Structure 1
Amino acid sequence: MESSDEEDVVKYRVHLRPITLRNAAPATLHFLPCEIPVNRPAPVERFFTPAIRQGPRGLEVSFRGRSLRGEEVEVPPSLVGYVMRMEEKGEVSGKQDFPEGSEDEEEQELLEPPEALERDFDRFMGASASFSRFTVWGLETIPGPDAKVRAALTWPSLAAAIHAPVQED
């Protein structure tokens, strides 16, 4: 039996614009313990301009009268984080990611033929910023080691261990 939630699912084929990964400017990120029930751009800097203090138990800041405690988290070595942004339909004039005459043939091969990208369910995504660290905040306490974001950051090393060749004895 299908749930009513499944009726609202819209499926897209998402294409990454690789050139945006090269041009993504570094950003300062904060992972806040809140949820905003809106999915659109918002002037966050108007509402969260942190005056971060180094307290005896980590970083401290106040957000809308609530005390937050946090710490900086490093992205695992050899990885880079990206802030991704879905382009609106028709936002980009051309489908070509690389300038004509680009010498990087390997990257050009990643692109699909233009006719394959003309469907209504195609969407394009690009990096708007990059990061190698971010600050994770918790209400009143620093998020513990069981925080979902920490589990996500351990996955690359776990995946490497799982897929590494097994040595025979």
Structure 2
Amino acid sequence: MAAKITCRSLDDVKDISIQHLPCTVNKSGHANISTYFEQSEETTDDGQTRMSSTFRGRPLDGENVSLPTGYVGLVTEEKKQPFSEDEDRNIEVCGRFEKFTKWHYDSRYTSGSTIEGALRVFPDIAAAIHCNEDCKMSAKELLPNIVKTS
């Protein structure tokens, strides 16, 4: 079985708003966020923007998180499920994003989040994976945030 991702051009893919909630929602697909998920923003005295909301009565604090420079996030959709495991899967790109809103449950921006850590080291991991035979860089040079030198 192969997975085929279809995308004619990233220029033709619409920019979308991504919300990362600290819970599991048993829904996949588009959600009318503007109607059911009210957000408020206020600027503090020091010029920072605070985002807040509630989800099912629980308070949330939000922050915008940007993807690493040069990367874009893609949202995909599989419109037709294959009948068997041997059948190819056809996945279409239906949206793109360069930042998303990460919501924290009843706390102000928990540091050390796994998403922020993954975004910090992803470019180094991608460089190591795609390094060919001619690449002269060592793992320690490619992965400065992961490989600890003693």
TM-score w.r.t. the length of structure 1 is: 0.61
Corresponding residue to 1:33 among 1, 5, 22: 22
Aligned ranges 1:19-168 → 2 under 5 Å: 19=8, 21-38=10-27, 40-41=28-29, 43-45=31-33, 46-54=35-43, 58-89=50-81, 121-159=87-125, 160=127, 165-166=137-138
Aligned residues: 127
Greater strand share, structure number = 2
Structure 1: stretches of 5+ with no match in the other structure? 1-11, 91-118
3-state DSSP class of the match of 1:126?
strand
% of aligned pairs identical?
Answer: 23
Q: Which moved more, 1:137-146 or 1:43-52?
A: 43-52
Structure of higher RCO (CA pairs closer than 8 Å, 6+ residues apart): 1
Q: Is the 8 A contact 2:19 2:100 kept in 1?
A: yes
TM-score with structure 2 setting the length:
0.68
Cα distance in 2 for partners of 1:42, 1:129 equals 11
CA distance in 2 between counterparts of 1:44 and 1:34 reads 18
The structure number with the bigger radius of gyration is 1
Q: In angstroms, what is the RMSD of aligned CA positions?
A: 3.0
- With over 3 angstroms needed to count, the CA separation of the structure-2 counterparts of 1:128 and 1:150, relative to structure 1, is same
